[in-house]
Chains A and B, each alone.
Chain A
Amino acid sequence: MSSKLKVLSPRQTPREHKAPLLEIKDLVRVFRTGGTYLKALDGISLEVQPGEMLCVLGPSGCGKTTLLKVLAGFLKPSGGHVFLRGKPIAGPGPDRCVVFQEDALFPWLTVAENIDFGLKALKISRRRRRELLDRSLSLIGLSAFRNYLPQEISGGMKQRVALARVLILEPEILLMDEPFAALDAQTREEMQLLLLRLWEMLSQTVVFVTHDVREAVTLADRVVVMEKHSGRLKDIVDIDLERPRSPDDQRFLSRCARLNDLLRNDSIACPLKYA
């Protein structure tokens, strides 16, 4: 399947004619280590539609985290462009929030204070802030833990807080960098369900980076598969399954198999194919 051919999942059909929320054009990012140059991203072109759940799938070292960092504004592109609603991205900002893989909560703030942190920078009334905070705490089911410190709660709870503190800012696009990779299997599944629930409730656009095929098939409208070392985009696969998706379903398994194939072929892929 060509990456240029865009097949929208049924959910997105009504939005077909809308302008893309995020537009990535010929994105290149080069790192210099010592005297050698490493192309982490090489000519990535991609569009993300409003309300879409897009997964970026690839083995470690494929450049998927670099892509996310460029989208977040933590890294500047070496070439190409990234537009959000038609405007080029310049540096990090609350319109593109990240849920990090590792512990990124402020350890000296309680659960409630961590979630409230970004609101302080906005000019909204104390009462409104309080309302938003209470709603947010109940959305992630941590109202009873509002006065706990990050070191006193579990890894899954921490990631809930990390999710809440950015969702409260109503970002245009939510960027997630393998946010559930460090959690145990059961908690990871819970978090995926929570994310899907919030995504549907808030019609939030999400770019979700993962190396886990099943996670991608569970979550995504579309899965962008990256090549292992070239920093190029290999394919875009539509996951046209209704939600909730059962991992035992034959169609679920066949999507997994297809993605696994794409990842495996990688190691023997001919580099000339895209040259």
Chain B
Amino acid sequence: MRMNDNGRTVLAFHRVLPWIIPGACLLAWLAIAEAGLAPAYLLPHPRTILESGYAYILGSPGDGMYAGRFLLDVRASLVRVLAGFAVATLLGLPLGVMSGRLPAADRLLSTTVNGIRAVPGISWLPLALVWFGIGLETTVFLVALAAFFPIYINTASGTRQVSLVLLQAGAMMGVRRLPGTFAILLPGAMPSIVSGLRLGLGIAWAYLVLGELTGVQNGLGAVIMDARMVGRIDVIIVGICIIAVIGRLSDQLLKACLRLSLKSARRTT
């Protein structure tokens, strides 16, 4: 940040910058709704959205169809996302490291992984439903499957690109292979690993909604699907906005956690 006489203005400008596009969209939406250019069953007035959102998040159950369901839904969705993301991380990180450093492991894995990666996630949905039925398992399966690839691929390319000199330096200072993996390889690949995890978490939210469109009781995706059935487009938009906000928050939370707990994430990303 520049520290001159204009420092304060520059700072304020940078604060405002991220909100310009959302603000403009909101204004355009408001204008369209006020002018009556789009019917309410296609694009409700922002006021309606605010009211529905308020009822959904803060209302007490019984006030309306969706009133007060927010906590229940968000808890259900968070459990599914975190479980799926955890499975993806537990598989993607070690397999990625192996692919990045061991040519044999890379040859063993890359054809299969890239083959599976070419299949759109949505085509797993029918199979997952047959295998796991409607519920937690299907969603977790889809989320884990989708989040695995960015984590695996970024970890593999990150560890592959760690400079040979750093590994040689470790070897000459008496660091053996397994400790070296944690002391040199993973920190050295940290920028890539962090991007992989962030992409993975992002895509986890996308596949969460897909997994919840199948008729589960609770969850943010379930609410959206349910609202479509009964024609409550305002609730669909509320759901979309909530997922956008929570997705963004969870990304920043992940980044903050990594930076807080890992030196290499703090200092090189």
Q: Which A positions have Cβ atoms within 8 angstroms of B?
A: 72-74, 91-94, 96-98, 100, 102-104, 106-109, 117-118, 120-122, 149, 165-166, 169
User: Does B165 make an interface contact (CB < 8 A)?
Assistant: yes
Contacts of A103 in B (CB 8 A): 165
On whether the beta carbons of B172 and A121 are closer than 8 Å, the reply is no
On whether the beta carbons of B168 and A92 are closer than 8 Å, the reply is yes
User: Does B169 make an interface contact (CB < 8 A)?
Assistant: yes
User: Does B187 make an interface contact (CB < 8 A)?
Assistant: yes
On whether the beta carbons of A121 and B165 are closer than 8 Å, the reply is no
Q: Given A102-B165, A106-B187, check contact A72 B268 (CB 8 Å).
A: no
On whether the beta carbons of B172 and A106 are closer than 8 Å, the reply is no
Contacts of A107 in B (CB 8 A): 267-268
What's the minimum C-beta distance from A121 to chain B, rounded to whole angstroms?
4
Candidates A104, A108, A122, A149; contact of B169 at CB < 8 Å: A104
Q: Which residue of A lies closest to B184 (CB)?
A: A106
Candidates A97, A109, A121, A122; contact of B263 at CB < 8 Å: A109
Chain B positions 164-185 with a Cβ under 8 Å from a chain A Cβ: 165-166, 168-175, 179, 183-184
What's the minimum C-beta distance from B156 to chain A, rounded to whole angstroms?
20
Q: Which B positions have Cβ atoms within 8 angstroms of A?
A: 163, 165-166, 168-175, 179, 183-184, 187-188, 190, 263-264, 267-268
Question: When A and B form their complex, what is the total count of cross-chain residue pairs whose Cβ atoms lie within 8 Å?
Answer: 65
Q: Which residue of B lies closest to A121 (CB)?
A: B174
On whether the beta carbons of B173 and A118 are closer than 8 Å, the reply is yes
A-B contact pairs, 5 of them (CB 8 A): A92-B172, A97-B173, A106-B166, A106-B187, A122-B174
Contacts of A96 in B (CB 8 A): 172
Q: How far apart sit A22 and B170, CA to CA, in the bound complex (Å)?
A: 22
On whether the beta carbons of A100 and B165 are closer than 8 Å, the reply is yes
Q: Is the interface of A mostly helix, strand, loop or mixed?
A: loop
Q: Given A100-B165, A102-B165, A108-B263, check contact A92 B187 (CB 8 Å).
A: no
On whether the beta carbons of B166 and A104 are closer than 8 Å, the reply is yes
On whether the beta carbons of A97 and B172 are closer than 8 Å, the reply is yes
Candidates A91, A94, A104, A109; contact of B165 at CB < 8 Å: A104
On whether the beta carbons of B268 and A108 are closer than 8 Å, the reply is yes
Contacts of B263 in A (CB 8 A): 108-109
Candidates B163, B172, B268; contact of A94 at CB < 8 Å: B172
Contacts of A166 in B (CB 8 A): 172-173
Question: Apart from A93-B174, A106-B188, A165-B173, what 7 extra A-B contacts exist at CB < 8 Å?
Answer: A74-B171, A93-B172, A108-B264, A108-B267, A121-B174, A121-B175, A169-B173
Q: Given A104-B166, A106-B184, check contact A92 B264 (CB 8 Å).
A: no
Q: How far apart sit A106 and B172, CA to CA, in the bound complex (Å)?
A: 14
What's the minimum C-beta distance from A22 to chain B, rounded to whole angstroms?
15
On whether the beta carbons of B173 and A108 are closer than 8 Å, the reply is no
Contacts of A93 in B (CB 8 A): 172, 174
What's the minimum C-beta distance from B162 to chain A, rounded to whole angstroms?
11
What's the minimum C-beta distance from B101 to chain A, rounded to whole angstroms?
16
Q: Given A108-B263, A108-B267, A149-B267, check contact A74 B173 (CB 8 Å).
A: no
Q: How far apart sit A72 and B168, CA to CA, in the bound complex (Å)?
A: 9
What's the minimum C-beta distance from B159 to chain A, rounded to whole angstroms?
14
On whether the beta carbons of B174 and A98 are closer than 8 Å, the reply is no
